[in-house]
Copies of this chain bind each other. A is one copy, B any other.
Amino acid sequence: MLNLTALTEPGFCPHGLNKYASVMACGNGYIGIRAAHEESYTQQTRGMYLAGLYHRAGRSETNELVNLPDVTGIDIELDGVNFTLLAGEIGHWQRELHFANGELRRSVLWRSPEGRQYRIESRRFASLDRLPLVAMQLSITPVDATAQIVLKTGIDATQTNSGRQHLDEVSVRVFDAHYLQGIYETQDRSAEVVISASCRLSTSDGDCCFSAKNRRITAHHALTVAQGDTVTLEKLVWVTHRTDRALSQETFARNALTELKVCAARGYAALLQSSSCAWENIWRDGRVVVTSPEPQDQLALDYAVWHLTAMTPAHDERSSIAAKGLTGEGYKGHVFWDTEIFLLPFHLFTRPQVARNLLRYRWLNLSGAREKARRNGWPGALFPWESAASGQEETPEFAAINIRTGLRQKVASALAEHHIVADIAWAVVAYWQATHDDDFMRNEGLTLLVETATFWIGRATEVNGRLEIHDVIGPDEYTEHVNNNAYTNYMAWHNVASACRFMAKFARKDAGFTEKAAHFLAHLWLPEPDAQGVLAQDDSFMAKPAIDLTRYKARAGKQTILLDYSRAEVNEMQILKQADVVMLNYLLPERFAPQQCAASLAFYEPRTIHDSSLSKAIHGIVSARCGDTEKAYAFWRDGIAIDLGDDPHSSDDGIHAAATGAIWSGVIQGFAGLQIVEGELHLAPKLPTHWKTLAFPLRWRNARMHFTVENEALTVETSVPVTFTLWGKTVTTTGRQVWSYEDFLTSVNGTATTEGGDNV
């Protein structure tokens, strides 16, 4: 097993149950399982989710990621007492999620209220090489005396999403006195879920019986365990689903059982071993290593890469990444622009095939986006602000009810946060730049670019001879319904320009489009930086008053501003949730001079509360690019704290998926200075002063590269020669090369060593 960090839960605390259930969730991109304890707690939310399995539970509800029947719960009765850490005493506690192999382990020495001690150990993982497999072990050792132990576990379909029922029970079965199987259907009959489980004890002593009642099928084990002996319950679960009905239900269910039996024959240890091998490949392709006196720096990077893998349905281009991954029900499991802007870069530079899948998801959902544009009177494709299994808009029509007035506010995002269209186009371009995957670009890519460009061309309004884009919301959701949002206009221009460029490159002819696009590009109003280099966020922003935001920034992420001001009032002040112009600087670095980036950063940061978890990470990257590495590091650390900080409730309803992407991006695009500029790779590593080394793998087109930054020098290893720009100079590297920053400074001062670096 690789020597990686592990995420540790320092002790049992009822308040932190759901945070740790999220951050320690197991997953493999196909299935996600919250790290709920085997024993139940009233405040503990169990959750198991399948990527792409959404359903709508009632007329006024929206599609949401279905919380599946639970398999993790085990009622543990020790000498007649229900095991719960709320009672008795905890003599020893250890709980860790091991990133190397994705295994969640807990070891507890518990003294019951009646004074008897038991050692209780459990392990669990979701297999990375057998995606439908979840494996668990529970071991119990009575320390003081022979114990009577009763274990009850099975498949519990009383699970709901906060009371919303998605599945009907079709049947429950027991086979061969070891295997349980439940067959479920979504209430709309569109999908079928088969959960098969085997439960085996390490001893053949003891009674076993089964019950099936009230949506629960349960194996009951009752046994006597001698003092010092250990009994282990091994539970293997195979979770499959389908929307097609190619096979009969019976065959589909029988096949699942067969697969489970194959696993059962191998056993937990062997299954973990082969899953670990799959994880080794992930780490080889994606692990970022830093040498830092702050242990949390490496932990955060491992945490990020682990969850970026666990949340991403690499196996299935019909689904994408939910805002909370597969770790909770926040945002109902919907897919946002987070995927393209915050999550895709990691995949693009480590497993580009996954980035391709994520873009294919959008391509497969084009019809919904076209339909949304059409219904709103525009041409082309207007991608939904929130999406699920189809391209339909899934944003709830109404936000939470204002409980004082009783009125429901329309959610504005779906109506006006149109930048997602350009964000997807941006990701298509980035994907091609990093891969030169002409096959994709010629087909899906170009279609996406042209459809999105067509939307913008139709979306613009002519005002006195120039084209403007009115009534939009930029990424900064504290400023709604503005005209000529800088982020939106620049990104739309980039979208249309990219469509034209790739049409030309692939000799695609469409005179009508080309003409309209040329007119758009020539006439779209692109706000210009002022004398100081500051770009106005939108037409009205600069005229609004600013207020001191210190106390709100001190509680960033909590939206405390809304306790003092209404949304309408916030809208009329220079108050940002996140800074659009900084985000724009990040995405289109070649459009703005460094001085302009720095000026906008300096202007907007004091006006930004960072109430979006997406905010600080981007500020960090732009700060790093502006040369302020220490400020960048401070932003990056704040980004880590979103999930890994002290707030016991920060992640109750799931991890912040985009924030994990930002942890990776903050280092690679921030401290390593990776950018794509004019389609080419740029690096300019500059580490925080207390970091000794930074090492990471990178995929760039057909090359597998590895970078190590240490002592102001960069060691590059590459599988094929790559030309890229390092510290502002174009270099070509092959094999293993070391480049010294000092040499580059020298060259900037006149010494021409463009192909510098020592061949070693």
Contact = CB atoms under 8 A, between A and B. Distances in A.
A interface, over-half SS: loop
Nearest to A82: B14
A735 interface: no
A519 interface: no
A404 interface: yes
A645 interface: no
A170 interface: yes
A564 to B, nearest CB: 14
> Taking each of A60, A158, A174, A403, which has the highest tally of chain B beta carbons within 10 Å of its own beta carbon?
A403
Given A42-B42, A43-B82, A87-B86, A212 B403 contact: yes
> Taking each of A60, A159, A177, which has the highest tally of chain B beta carbons within 10 Å of its own beta carbon?
A60
Nearest to A164: B165
Interface string A35-76: 000001111000000000000011111000000000000000
A214 interface: yes
Contacts of A211: 403
Given A41-B42, A87-B86, A401 B163 contact: no
A77 to B, nearest CB: 10
A406 interface: yes
Given A42-B41, A86-B86, A403-B172, A165 B215 contact: no
A162 B171 contact: no
B86 A174 contact: no
A87 B87 CA distance: 5
A187 interface: yes
Contact of A173 (B86, B87, B173, B401): B401
A378 to B, nearest CB: 33
A715 interface: no
A158 B157 CA distance: 15
A355 interface: no
A33 to B, nearest CB: 18
Contacts of A84: 42, 86
A152 to B, nearest CB: 11
A79 interface: no
A551 interface: no
B160 A163 contact: yes
Contacts of A164: 165, 215
Interface string A150-180: 0000000111101111001111111101000
A215 B64 CA distance: 14
Contact of A162 (B42, B82, B214): B214
Nearest to A77: B15
Nearest to A169: B60
A364 interface: no
Nearest to A176: B404
Nearest to A219: B403
A214 B162 CA distance: 6
Nearest to A329: B214
A217 interface: yes
A157 B163 contact: yes
A429 to B, nearest CB: 39
A213 interface: yes
Nearest to A59: B168
Contacts of A363: none
> Taking each of A170, A171, A172, which has the highest tally of chain B beta carbons within 10 Å of its own beta carbon?
A171
A203 to B, nearest CB: 23
A210 interface: yes
Given A163-B157, A163-B215, A165-B160, A173 B406 contact: yes
A745 interface: no
Interface string A384-424: 00000000000000001101101010000000000000000
B43 A170 contact: no
Nearest to A405: B173
A212 B177 CA distance: 46
Contacts of A175: 406
Contact of A171 (B58, B87, B170, B406): B406
Nearest to A408: B171
Given A58-B187, A87-B87, A168-B61, A403 B174 contact: yes
A210 B403 contact: yes
A491 to B, nearest CB: 33
Contacts of A217: 403
Contacts of A41: 42
A61 B170 CA distance: 10
Nearest to A168: B58
A541 to B, nearest CB: 32
Contact of A165 (B58, B60, B169): B58
Interface string A294-317: 000000000000000000000000
A171 B212 CA distance: 36
A174 B174 CA distance: 49
Interface in A14-31: 14
A157 B163 CA distance: 7
A400 B173 contact: no
Contacts of A168: 58-61
Nearest to A89: B113
Contacts of A214: 162-163
Contacts of A400: 212-213
Given A42-B42, A163-B157, A404 B174 contact: yes
A213 B332 CA distance: 12
Contacts of A169: 60
Nearest to A175: B406
Nearest to A156: B163
A19 to B, nearest CB: 15
16 contacts: A43-B82, A57-B165, A59-B168, A59-B187, A60-B168, A60-B169, A86-B86, A159-B163, A164-B165, A164-B215, A171-B401, A171-B406, A174-B403, A210-B403, A212-B400, A212-B403
Interface of A: 14, 40-43, 57-61, 82, 84, 86-87, 157-160, 162-165, 168-175, 177, 187, 210-217, 400-401, 403-404, 406, 408
Closest 6 CB pairs of A and B: A158-B163, A165-B165, A162-B214, A40-B42, A174-B403, A58-B168
Given A172-B401, A174-B406, 10 more contacts: A41-B42, A58-B165, A157-B163, A158-B163, A162-B216, A163-B165, A164-B165, A171-B406, A211-B403, A212-B401
